[in-house]
Amino acid sequence: MEVKTSLLDNMIGVGDMVLLEPLNEDSFIENLRSRFDHNEIYTYIGSVVISMNPYRSLPIYTPQKVEEYRNRNFYELSPHIYALADEAYRSLRDQDKDQCILITGESGAGKTEASKLVMSYVAAVCGKGQEVNKVKEQLLQSNPVLEAFGNAKTMRNDNSSRFYGAALYS
């Protein structure tokens, strides 16, 4: 008889901060640091995805990863931006609910890259032809508006974008 192991058995640190005990600032930061040190750059807080920019390429954005996260339960696999993108896309497709993904962070945090990852994931899973073009056009039209909400003067930049986002409309 084959013994099935839980995803949690092989996870570095705690993948969802909701489950972190004790939950305090030190344990929170240490959990993020431990996961980051093992190239686990995504961590959840419930349905929120925390992303830490590794400032280098990681092999976690392949076509195989897209298929791995496609049509899966949000918590079924390790935390990943593809899980969030898939959840938003399926809610749009199956329940006809408009979706908005808000991406926030300091200058250089990876907001633009995260937005591109969401868009590329949705483009990869939504099929071919007119549906893909419609989704891509919606995403492209929404980004300048969403980015403009967060522009502000910071220590690093006179017009730093602190928010970036992707919106999907039915």
For 136, left (φ over 0), alpha (ψ -120 to 50), or beta? alpha
* 108 annotated as belonging to a binding site for a ligand: yes
* 112 annotated as belonging to a binding site for a ligand: yes
- Specify which residues 49 forms β-bridges with: 44
* 88 annotated as belonging to a binding site for a ligand: no
* 106 annotated as belonging to a binding site for a ligand: yes
Residue located via tokens 């399926």: 90
* 111 annotated as belonging to a binding site for a ligand: yes
CA atoms 111, 119, 60, 47: torsion sign: positive
Cα separation, 143 vs 167, in Å, equals 8
Q: Cα separations (Å) of 147 from 47, 74, 101?
A: 22, 26, 12
Q: 3-class DSSP state for residue 161?
A: strand
108 C-beta neighbours (distance < 10 Å), count? 12
Annotation: binding site for ATP: 105-112
Annotation: binding site: 105-112
